[in-house]
Amino acid sequence: MGKVNLDDIKPGMKLEKDVQDRSGRVLLRAGTEITERHLNIFRTWGVAEDDIESMSRQEATAHFTRNLDPEVLKAAQEFISPLFVHPDATHAPVRELKARLQVGFRLLSLQRALAARVFDLEEALAQVKLLQGLLPICSYCKNIRDDNHYWQQIDSYVSAHLETQFSHSICPTCYDKVVKPELESFQQLLKERLNPACTRG
Protein backbone atom coordinates (compact mmCIF):
# COMPACT_ATOMS: atom_id res chain seq x y z
CA MET A 1 0.00 0.00 0.00
CA GLY A 2 2.02 2.87 -1.30
CA LYS A 3 2.08 5.53 -3.95
CA VAL A 4 3.50 4.27 -7.22
CA ASN A 5 4.59 6.51 -10.06
CA LEU A 6 2.29 6.28 -13.09
CA ASP A 7 5.17 5.11 -15.30
CA ASP A 8 5.67 2.11 -13.00
CA ILE A 9 2.02 1.07 -12.83
CA LYS A 10 1.33 -1.94 -15.02
CA PRO A 11 -1.96 -3.41 -16.29
CA GLY A 12 -3.28 -6.01 -13.84
CA MET A 13 -2.36 -4.05 -10.70
CA LYS A 14 -5.29 -3.03 -8.44
CA LEU A 15 -6.08 0.37 -6.96
CA GLU A 16 -6.01 0.53 -3.17
CA LYS A 17 -7.87 3.86 -2.96
CA ASP A 18 -10.37 5.74 -5.12
CA VAL A 19 -8.85 8.03 -7.74
CA GLN A 20 -10.48 11.46 -7.47
CA ASP A 21 -10.31 14.69 -9.40
CA ARG A 22 -9.70 18.13 -7.83
CA SER A 23 -13.37 18.56 -6.89
CA GLY A 24 -13.48 15.18 -5.12
CA ARG A 25 -15.43 13.41 -7.85
CA VAL A 26 -14.49 9.72 -7.98
CA LEU A 27 -12.93 8.91 -11.33
CA LEU A 28 -12.06 5.26 -10.62
CA ARG A 29 -13.06 3.09 -7.64
CA ALA A 30 -10.69 1.31 -5.25
CA GLY A 31 -10.20 -2.35 -6.13
CA THR A 32 -10.40 -1.70 -9.87
CA GLU A 33 -7.94 -3.75 -11.89
CA ILE A 34 -5.95 -1.31 -13.99
CA THR A 35 -5.94 -1.67 -17.76
CA GLU A 36 -3.91 0.07 -20.46
CA ARG A 37 -6.98 2.25 -21.13
CA HIS A 38 -7.02 3.39 -17.48
CA LEU A 39 -3.34 4.35 -17.72
CA ASN A 40 -4.07 6.48 -20.81
CA ILE A 41 -6.97 8.15 -18.98
CA PHE A 42 -4.73 8.82 -15.94
CA ARG A 43 -2.26 10.58 -18.23
CA THR A 44 -5.11 12.69 -19.63
CA TRP A 45 -6.35 13.53 -16.11
CA GLY A 46 -2.84 14.46 -15.00
CA VAL A 47 -2.67 11.69 -12.36
CA ALA A 48 1.04 11.27 -11.59
CA GLU A 49 0.86 8.44 -9.04
CA ASP A 50 -1.63 6.08 -7.40
CA ASP A 51 -2.02 3.87 -4.35
CA ILE A 52 -1.57 0.27 -5.46
CA GLU A 53 -3.00 -2.66 -3.49
CA SER A 54 -0.66 -4.73 -1.31
CA MET A 55 2.39 -2.63 -2.05
CA SER A 56 4.20 -1.01 0.90
CA ARG A 57 6.08 2.28 0.70
CA GLN A 58 9.35 0.33 0.67
CA GLU A 59 8.07 -1.95 -2.12
CA ALA A 60 6.84 1.06 -4.05
CA THR A 61 10.23 2.77 -3.69
CA ALA A 62 12.04 -0.42 -4.70
CA HIS A 63 9.63 -0.82 -7.62
CA PHE A 64 10.31 2.74 -8.75
CA THR A 65 14.10 2.59 -8.39
CA ARG A 66 14.72 -0.93 -9.68
CA ASN A 67 15.39 0.23 -13.25
CA LEU A 68 17.55 3.20 -12.21
CA ASP A 69 21.30 3.05 -12.63
CA PRO A 70 22.78 2.97 -9.06
CA GLU A 71 25.41 5.51 -10.13
CA VAL A 72 22.72 7.92 -11.38
CA LEU A 73 20.74 7.44 -8.16
CA LYS A 74 23.84 8.12 -6.05
CA ALA A 75 24.68 11.24 -8.10
CA ALA A 76 21.11 12.54 -7.66
CA GLN A 77 21.27 12.01 -3.88
CA GLU A 78 24.62 13.82 -3.71
CA PHE A 79 23.19 16.72 -5.71
CA ILE A 80 20.03 17.06 -3.60
CA SER A 81 21.51 16.53 -0.12
CA PRO A 82 23.32 19.93 0.08
CA LEU A 83 20.06 21.74 -0.75
CA PHE A 84 18.53 20.56 2.51
CA VAL A 85 21.51 21.30 4.77
CA HIS A 86 20.19 24.84 5.42
CA PRO A 87 16.66 24.85 6.84
CA ASP A 88 16.70 28.65 6.55
CA ALA A 89 13.95 29.73 4.11
CA THR A 90 16.07 32.71 3.01
CA HIS A 91 18.85 30.41 1.77
CA ALA A 92 19.02 30.83 -2.05
CA PRO A 93 18.64 27.13 -3.05
CA VAL A 94 15.75 26.70 -0.58
CA ARG A 95 14.01 29.81 -1.97
CA GLU A 96 14.48 28.57 -5.52
CA LEU A 97 13.22 25.10 -4.63
CA LYS A 98 10.17 26.61 -2.90
CA ALA A 99 9.42 28.80 -5.93
CA ARG A 100 9.75 25.84 -8.29
CA LEU A 101 7.50 23.72 -6.10
CA GLN A 102 4.85 26.47 -6.08
CA VAL A 103 4.99 26.69 -9.86
CA GLY A 104 4.82 22.90 -10.07
CA PHE A 105 1.77 22.72 -7.79
CA ARG A 106 0.05 25.47 -9.78
CA LEU A 107 0.75 23.66 -13.07
CA LEU A 108 -0.48 20.41 -11.55
CA SER A 109 -3.74 21.98 -10.38
CA LEU A 110 -4.29 23.56 -13.81
CA GLN A 111 -3.50 20.25 -15.49
CA ARG A 112 -5.99 18.44 -13.26
CA ALA A 113 -8.68 21.04 -13.93
CA LEU A 114 -8.05 20.71 -17.66
CA ALA A 115 -8.10 16.92 -17.41
CA ALA A 116 -11.43 17.00 -15.55
CA ARG A 117 -12.85 19.28 -18.25
CA VAL A 118 -11.55 16.96 -20.98
CA PHE A 119 -13.16 14.01 -19.17
CA ASP A 120 -16.53 15.86 -19.09
CA LEU A 121 -16.21 16.71 -22.78
CA GLU A 122 -15.34 13.10 -23.65
CA GLU A 123 -18.45 11.93 -21.80
CA ALA A 124 -20.59 14.48 -23.67
CA LEU A 125 -19.02 13.46 -26.99
CA ALA A 126 -19.77 9.80 -26.25
CA GLN A 127 -23.44 10.72 -25.72
CA VAL A 128 -23.50 12.70 -28.98
CA LYS A 129 -21.91 9.81 -30.90
CA LEU A 130 -24.58 7.54 -29.44
CA LEU A 131 -27.25 9.55 -31.26
CA GLN A 132 -25.35 10.21 -34.50
CA GLY A 133 -26.07 6.85 -36.10
CA LEU A 134 -29.27 5.81 -37.86
CA LEU A 135 -32.21 5.16 -35.53
CA PRO A 136 -34.64 2.43 -36.61
CA ILE A 137 -38.09 4.02 -36.20
CA CYS A 138 -41.52 2.50 -36.86
CA SER A 139 -43.28 4.12 -39.83
CA TYR A 140 -46.65 3.97 -38.04
CA CYS A 141 -46.31 4.41 -34.28
CA LYS A 142 -42.88 6.17 -34.37
CA ASN A 143 -41.40 3.86 -31.70
CA ILE A 144 -37.59 3.43 -31.81
CA ARG A 145 -35.75 0.09 -31.75
CA ASP A 146 -32.80 0.12 -29.36
CA ASP A 147 -29.56 -1.92 -29.53
CA ASN A 148 -31.24 -4.83 -27.72
CA HIS A 149 -34.05 -4.96 -30.33
CA TYR A 150 -36.66 -3.62 -27.90
CA TRP A 151 -39.11 -1.02 -29.16
CA GLN A 152 -39.43 2.14 -27.08
CA GLN A 153 -41.44 5.32 -27.39
CA ILE A 154 -39.29 8.11 -28.77
CA ASP A 155 -39.56 10.21 -25.61
CA SER A 156 -38.42 7.24 -23.43
CA TYR A 157 -35.48 6.55 -25.75
CA VAL A 158 -34.27 10.17 -25.85
CA SER A 159 -34.75 10.56 -22.07
CA ALA A 160 -32.62 7.47 -21.43
CA HIS A 161 -29.79 8.60 -23.73
CA LEU A 162 -29.72 12.38 -23.22
CA GLU A 163 -30.83 12.85 -19.59
CA THR A 164 -33.73 14.89 -20.94
CA GLN A 165 -37.29 14.88 -19.62
CA PHE A 166 -40.33 15.57 -21.78
CA SER A 167 -43.40 17.63 -20.96
CA HIS A 168 -46.30 16.59 -23.18
CA SER A 169 -48.60 19.02 -24.91
CA ILE A 170 -50.72 19.19 -28.09
CA CYS A 171 -49.69 21.14 -31.17
CA PRO A 172 -52.34 23.23 -33.05
CA THR A 173 -52.36 20.86 -36.05
CA CYS A 174 -53.06 17.79 -33.90
CA TYR A 175 -55.65 19.76 -31.93
CA ASP A 176 -57.55 20.54 -35.15
CA LYS A 177 -57.10 17.04 -36.62
CA VAL A 178 -57.63 14.87 -33.54
CA VAL A 179 -58.77 16.64 -30.38
CA LYS A 180 -61.39 19.01 -31.85
CA PRO A 181 -63.29 16.26 -33.76
CA GLU A 182 -63.22 14.06 -30.65
CA LEU A 183 -64.60 16.90 -28.52
CA GLU A 184 -67.33 17.62 -31.05
CA SER A 185 -68.19 13.92 -31.22
CA PHE A 186 -68.30 13.71 -27.41
CA GLN A 187 -70.51 16.81 -27.19
CA GLN A 188 -72.88 15.35 -29.80
CA LEU A 189 -73.06 12.05 -27.91
CA LEU A 190 -73.73 13.90 -24.65
CA LYS A 191 -76.47 15.96 -26.28
CA GLU A 192 -78.13 12.81 -27.65
CA ARG A 193 -78.15 11.14 -24.25
CA LEU A 194 -79.50 14.19 -22.45
CA ASN A 195 -82.18 15.02 -25.06
CA PRO A 196 -83.20 11.80 -26.80
CA ALA A 197 -86.37 13.48 -28.10
CA CYS A 198 -84.39 16.11 -30.01
CA THR A 199 -82.49 13.50 -31.95
CA ARG A 200 -85.66 11.63 -32.96
CA GLY A 201 -87.43 14.66 -34.39
Domain that holds residue 154: 136-168
Compute the C-alpha angle 24/105/96, nearest 5°.
160
Asked if residue 93 and residue 8 are part of one domain, the reply reads: yes
| pTM of the complete model beyond 0.85 | no
Task: List the beta bridge partners of residue 51.
Answer: 3
Asked if residue 187 and residue 147 are part of one domain, the reply reads: no
Asked if residue 71 and residue 26 are part of one domain, the reply reads: yes
Q: Smallest Cα–Cα separation from 11: which of 41, 49, 37, 30?
A: 37
Residues 58 and 135: their CA atoms lie apart, in Å, by 55
Number of domains in the chain: 3
Taking only the tens place, the pLDDT of each residue in 182-191 is 989 988 888 8
Taking only the tens place, the pLDDT of each residue in 67-102 is 667 787 778 777 777 766 666 667 677 777 777 877
The answer to whether residues 164 and 158 touch, using CB atoms and an 8 Å cutoff, is yes
Asked if residue 96 and residue 63 are part of one domain, the reply reads: yes
Buried/exposed 42-64: b ≥16 CB within 10 Å, e otherwise? beebbbebbbbeebeeeebeebb
Last residue of a domain, one of 108, 132, 156: 132
Residues 30 and 53: their CA atoms lie apart, in Å, by 9
Exposed, middle or buried, 115 (CB in 10 Å: 0-12/13-18/19+)? buried
